[in-house]
Every structure is written in structure tokens, then in C-alpha cells.
Structure 1
Amino acid sequence: MSLLLACARKTSDPDALPTLPVHNPKTSSTIFLGGLWCFIFAIWSTLRIFLNTVVDIVVFMAILLFLKDTKSPIKGTLGVEHNPKRFVHKTISLDDIKLVKNALNTTVNDVILGVTQAGLSRYLNRRYANEDDKDEVEKHKTNNLPKRIRLNVTVMVSIRPAAGIQVLADMMAKNSKANWGNRVGYIIVPFTIALEDDPLDYVRGAKAIVDRKKQSLEAIFTHQEINVVSKTFGVKAVAALVHRVFSNTTMTFSSMVGPQEEISYYGHPIAYIAPTVYGLPHALIVHTQSYINKLTICLAVDPSVIPDPHQLCADLEESLDIIKNAVLEKGLLIKETA
């Protein structure tokens, strides 16, 4: 994404590079109580990161060796990576997502993950329904989901210390610190597939999972694991390892931050950005990409497994509307301060 945007320019200023949002960590409201308490807090934080990392590594190894996701209408079978794929996308309002984010004091990614869980739950509920016994109205009202569905999502995470756009000349310069290529790890995120009574529970659940993952070194572990295996056993071993982990999970998810203003590529205005990928052993791959005040949801699906990807897109969009309306009905909207 940095490379693409380095080739683009602002439409309003053809000589200026696009602007990416700057991450501003929230300031802590913790009262300073002295050196002893700081030391205790540091020990506790280190211990928590250590324990979370150990748990995540154990789960990762279990998935690598034997723990497979529940067979579901969206899980691909062996060899799904070789099947033809269908690519669809839908653009929704980023302002609606920010509205929910501000109301629930979460992040944009928390809301996107929550909306994805809600949309998949709606879609799977319909797919699990018996088409012969229930009409469309009943299928929406009745909970057709199995009691327990193990659905793990492989989420791609950038482990670069700072995001940004590097000028191409700087990237190509000898001994440049702006290295080429991705520095990506991945984490395994368990999705809750259920029909929640309170739509906001999808976002709250996603926030709880993501907050815990932030207190773990799982992404760094998976990144280093790939490097070690590659140097020790070669690229084929890395491919086999990644294929095994991905095959035992259900889908891939990633979220990318785009420019905050309209951009042009060699003088041609860009209407939207819709990234996707091909070749992973999943029947469903979800990418989300922000651009100005819009968010594009991109799906790569195996049509033999998911024959109606536009319906899945509609379920994701409708889930956002339901969550936003729940925020408004509960009076949780917080006005942004200048």
C-alpha cells in the first residue's frame, strides 16, 4: 500500500504525496503512584504478555498439528486454493463505522471485525436453514446455527514499527532504511458465530479479543517462525507450514488504511481501492480498505462453496446498519470534539 500511494499524488495538489492517518495512542488516565507501583505494573504487564503469548503459541501449534475448524457452508475443502475464484466488492460509509467506534470507545478495526462476525452469523444462519421447510421470513427469525461452531480467522498484521509512505527514490537508494517488501505476521482470531440479542455485543466481543491479542507477541512469533523455517528448510517448507495452518482455519481477513483525500494515479483520479489476493487455501478471503470517507469490502470466494457472494456483502452492510441503529436507539452517540 505504501508503494502504491508513493506512486500517487493528491488530486488537489498534483505535487503532494497522499496523507495517511497518524496513529495517536490514547493517553492513560492512570495516576502516578510512585516507583514501586510502576515496577509492579511493569512486572504484571510483562507477565501478561508472556502468558498470552504462550497460550497463543500453544493454540497455533494445535491448529498446525490437528485442530481443525468446524465444517461449515463457508469452509473450503482440500485443494480449494486451486479452484477458480470470484471477486466482488461493496463500498460502505466509513463515517458510520466511526460513529460506532466513538460510541463504544473502540477502534475502527474493532468495529470492522464486529460487523464481519455479525454479517457472517446472518449469512450462515440462512445457509444452515432448511430451504424446503422455512420461508424467507422464518429463516431470518429462527436461529438455525449449530450450538458450537469453531471458526478461526487468520488475520494479517503488519509488524513494521511505523506505517508511512516512503519516496521511491529513498526506497531504492543504497543502504536505505526503507526496506522493500512486506513485514507481516498473522494471528489466529476465533470468531463468535451466533445471533446476539444485542447487536453491539458483536463489537464488544471483537474488542475483547483484539485487546487481548495486542498483549501478545503472536504476530512477531509467526513472522520469525517463517523466517527461521525459510532459512533452515527452504521456501517449500514455509509453504507447507503456512498451507497447513490456513487449511485448518476457515478464512483470511485483513484491513488496510488508505489515504484521507482523493488521489490520482498519473493524472487519473482513483474512485476506490479494492485489494484482494488469490491462491490461499480458503474459500473466503475478506479485505477491507478505507479511502477518504468510504470503506470498501472486498471478497474473494470459491463460487462452488459460496455461490452468492453479493448476498454476503449485503449481510455485512445490513449488519453495520443494525449496529449503528442500536447505537442511536440506546443514545450512546458521543459528539466528537474539535
Structure 2
Amino acid sequence: MGNSKAERDEPLTPAGRLFLRPDFHQIIHIIMGFKNPIDTDAVKSEITNSVMIKLPRFSSLIVRNSSGGEHWRKTQVDVDHHVIVIEDPVSDASAGDEEAVNDYVADLSVSSPLSSDKPLWEVHLLTAHNCMVFRIHHALADGISLMSMLQECCRRADRPNDQRLSTTGSVINSSLNKKNRMRELWKLVVGLFMNVVFIMEIMLRAFWVKDRRTVVSGGAGVELWPRKLATAKFRFDDMKQVKKAVADATINDVLSGIISSGLSRYLDMRSPKALRDGVQITGLTMVNLRKQPGLQELSKMIRGNSGIRWGNKFGTVLFPVYYRQGGGDPLQHVKTAKKMMDQKKHSLEAHFSYYFGMCCFGPKLSSWLSYRTVCNTTFTISNVVGLKEEITIAGNPVTYMRMNMTSIPHAISMHMLSYGGRADLQILVAKDIVPDPEVLAKCFEDALLQMKEAAAPKEFGK
């Protein structure tokens, strides 16, 4: 009897149960473009022999016992049932490959759940566009875990016999683990004070405090509205140049400044003079809570180190940005974002949100609290570590890699992933609220270029 299926089942984590709730049903999309035409048989063979299939959650079904408890149950994986090949173009002839793929993924984000009669992942091969869309239910893992898995599965394009890959950055909160943050006693005092302030703020957000309405505000039910998807493209070297111009800044501070400046620019275009200078618009930022945040450490876990946690291990922090008419001083956006995030480094806001929003209560109440918090804020932003070197899959070089998630009540969700010296920000919007995400993407790109221009004299002494 000790070998019964029920006894071998693994219970879902609190985060896993949250992401299975109907109002928080999240699927992660990883989009990869290829240099050469896709060989579907080679891709299927690569998946069949990959590390991914050996990971328990990628070869397990969600089952519910008689008392309603949800568990992972090991099953046989038939790769043919997970790989969906689409040979015809997914958009009209006038659309380029990027626009066609973005439209396809935008449709998936509201209209195509994963089937529960097989493990919760799929691979869509868009052969007419040399593109692969990897769909993974958020109950299986977060973005950091998935990147660590890809690092183990893929090979370097320049050295196909060397499977070891480097990483380019860190999740948006990696600087929460600064080595010297407690070196002075006053930092401990400030940290304790900030704990109280930020924890109270996130609790109030879950119940009644909400952002002022703007032309980009979402709300309850907006997760069901049709979506559009656009991509803002950044050079990683440009972001590094801006980072050097602001003392002790991080890439995450630069991204935060880009979002702040870009949103101000966009609001100026959509609703000129409708907002007073300094109005706060609040976002939710994803925060990695692992003690060992790097992909190399998670790769050890994939190879059998059970001391490092796979799956979902992240919290959220409130990220306020402030509208500046005309865009304001480009570098000031970075400085303001850095000051705010430095304060949050000394707080337990992210840890509190993880336990308060996922672990302390049952999935129904946790889902309600998380949903309310989203409805009372304006946007989502995450930055997931990527790979420095270009990779190949089944011998085919990957030319770009992007990440996004299915829709939530926010009208704007933004997810940045760095790869091969580039950083692409996917911008998923409710198209009835933000009809022109390409314009918003251009606002972000222009914000970085202006920051780079402002940083140049400080870096080079011009």
C-alpha cells in the first residue's frame, strides 16, 4: 500500500494553488525566434531528451482528492500532445513576423487555457515565422526557475559543445540582497521603520486605497478584455551607461526610471494637462526571494541539489512612479526610483506580500487579496535574468528571447528579459484602454536614449 499513487502524490505549494484559482490563472509565455527554418522533428527530439522532462512538475498532472486537496501526480509525457505545429502565417500578409507573433501571443493571453488532462505546458511552433512560443502554467514555476531550466537545456551558439551559459543580470529585486546593507546601526533602525510603513501600505492597497483614475487604469474584469502586445527594445550597454551615471544604481533602477519617464511621456500624449505634476501612479514589482538568486545556483538544484528551491518563490512590492509633465529630467527618474527601491531593500515588504498574499490563508482568500491589490494599482513590471551568450535549440540559433504572462486586471503589464546583449520589454495591454502599445514602447525606448544622452557628459567628462 505504501506504493499507492495517492501516497506518492506531491501537494501543491500555496503559490501553486493561488495560480490555479479562476481569477488568478496565470500562464508564462517564453517567445524565441530562430535564425533558420524550424525542424519540428528535431525540436520534439530535443524536448524528449531534455532536462525539462525529468523535472517532476513537467511530467505531472494536477489531481484533486476527495477532500478537494490538489496534488501533483506523475504521468507519462507524450511530447506529440504538447507540441503544436502551426505552419500557416498567424496574421495577414501585411504584418511582419514580430507583429504577427505579438498578435498571436496576445490572443493566447485571454483565450487559450492549458488543458488539465496533460502536464501544464505546451510548445507552439510558428514555422512560417521561425518562432517558438513556450507556454508554462505559473503553478509549475516562476521566471527565474524557467530561465535556469533553459540554461541547463540549451547550448551556446558559438561553442555548441559547451553547455555552460552565463547570465546578464538579475531579477528586478536582486539588489535586495546587498552585502553591506546592515553595516551601520542606523540602517537597521531605518529598516525597522520602513517595514512598518511599507507593510501597512500593501495591506491598505489590498482593501481600499487605490490609484487615481487615469487613461491607463484597469480594474476588476479587465483581465477578460482583448489584448495587444508590443515590444520595447533596449541595448544592454545603453542601460549600463545610464547606470554608471547615477551613483550606486543598478540595472533595475534604470529600468524603473525608464518606466517612470516613459509613462509620463505617454500620459502627456494621451491626456495632456489632465494630471498635475507629481501625481503618483503605482505599480507592482515582482521580487525574487531566494537566498541564492543566481541562475547558476538554481542549475545546481536541477542537477539534484535539493537545498535550493524550484518553483515559485517571489513576492511583490509597491512601486510608485510620479508623473512629470514633459517627461522631466531623464536621470531624475532613475534617481527617484533608486531612492525608493533603496528604502524597500531594508524592509520586509516582499516577504510579507509572499506570506500574506500566498501562504497565510487558503487559496480563495489569498486570491481575493491579490486580485484586490492588482485592481487598486495601475501596472505590473518584472525583470527576469537572461542569458549573456546566444544559444541554440536543436542546432538552430535563437535570435531573440522574450517573456510575458497572461492577462490580469491591470491594463498594462510589462516584463523584461535580457538575452545576448539586448533587453526586450514585452508590453501587454487591454487594447480598449491602451489602443497603441507601440507608441508606449517608443516612449520607453526614447526615455532610455535621452537618459543615455544625459549620462554621456557624466561618464566621459564632455
> TM-score normalised by the shorter chain: which range applies?
0.7 to 0.9
Residue 182 of structure 1 and its aligned partner are, at CA, apart by 1.7
Query: Are residues 1:154 and 2:284 paired?
Result: yes
Aligned counterpart, 1:209: 340
Residue 166 of structure 1 and its aligned partner are, at CA, apart by 5.8
* Unaligned runs of at least 5 residues, structure 2: 1-146
Residue among 151, 154, 171 paired with 1:5 = 151
Query: Are residues 1:80 and 2:206 paired?
Result: no
Aligned counterpart, 2:357: 226
Q: How does 1:169-184 map to 2 (within 5 A)?
A: 171=302, 173=304, 176-184=306-314
Query: Are residues 1:290 and 2:426 paired?
Result: no
Q: How does 1:52-131 map to 2 (within 5 A)?
A: 52-105=194-247, 106-129=249-272
Residue 181 of structure 1 and its aligned partner are, at CA, apart by 0.4
Residue 161 of structure 1 and its aligned partner are, at CA, apart by 1.0
**Distance across 2 between alignment mates of 1:280 and 1:188:** 16
Residue 293 of structure 1 and its aligned partner are, at CA, apart by 1.5
Aligned counterpart, 1:20: 167
Residue 6 of structure 1 and its aligned partner are, at CA, apart by 2.0
Aligned counterpart, 1:200: 331
Residue 144 of structure 1 and its aligned partner are, at CA, apart by 5.1
Q: RMSD in angstroms over aligned alpha carbons? A: 2.5
Describe the SS at the equivalent of 2:243.
helix
Structure with the larger RCO, 1 or 2 (CA within 8 Å, 6+ apart): 1
1:300-338 Cα offsets, whole Å, 9 max, x none, are: 10000000000000011111111111222xx20159xxx
Aligned counterpart, 1:309: 437
Q: How does 1:11-50 map to 2 (within 5 A)?
A: 11-14=157-160, 15-21=162-168, 42-50=184-192
Describe the SS at the equivalent of 2:438.
helix
1:80-139 Cα offsets, whole Å, 9 max, x none, are: 01112222213221111111111223111111110111010000011113xxxxxxxxxx
TM-score by length of 2: 0.62
| Identity within the alignment, % | 31
TM-score by length of 1: 0.83
Q: Which moved more, 1:184-193 or 1:43-52?
A: 43-52
Residue 46 of structure 1 and its aligned partner are, at CA, apart by 2.1
Residue type matched to 1:8 in 2? C
Aligned counterpart, 1:280: 408
Describe the SS at the equivalent of 1:239.
helix
Task: Tell whether the 8 Å contact from 2:389 to 2:419 is kept in structure 1 after alignment.
Answer: yes
Task: Tell whether the 8 Å contact from 1:126 to 1:144 is kept in structure 2 after alignment.
Answer: no
**Distance across 1 between alignment mates of 2:300 and 2:256:** 36
Residue type matched to 1:276 in 2? N
Residue among 423, 427, 436 paired with 1:299 = 427
In structure 2, the CA distance between the partners of 1:167 and 1:334, relative to structure 1 (3 Å rule), is same
Query: Are residues 1:333 and 2:422 paired?
Result: no
**Distance across 2 between alignment mates of 1:99 and 1:155:** 23
Q: Which moved more, 1:259-268 or 1:269-278?
A: 259-268
**Distance across 1 between alignment mates of 2:358 and 2:455:** 44
Residue type matched to 1:234 in 2? G
**Distance across 2 between alignment mates of 1:149 and 1:202:** 14
**Distance across 1 between alignment mates of 2:285 and 2:254:** 15
**Distance across 1 between alignment mates of 2:398 and 2:311:** 24
Residue type matched to 1:72 in 2? T
Describe the SS at the equivalent of 1:71.
coil
Residue 247 of structure 1 and its aligned partner are, at CA, apart by 0.6
Number of aligned residue pairs: give it: 306
**Distance across 1 between alignment mates of 2:164 and 2:226:** 37
1:142-182 Cα offsets, whole Å, 9 max, x none, are: x5533453311100010111122468795374x72233202
Moved over 4 A (4+): 21-28, 166-170
1:253-304 Cα offsets, whole Å, 9 max, x none, are: 0011211111112322111111001132111001111112111011010000
Describe the SS at the equivalent of 2:406.
coil
Describe the SS at the equivalent of 2:399.
coil
Task: Tell whether the 8 Å contact from 1:3 to 1:166 is kept in structure 2 after alignment.
Answer: no
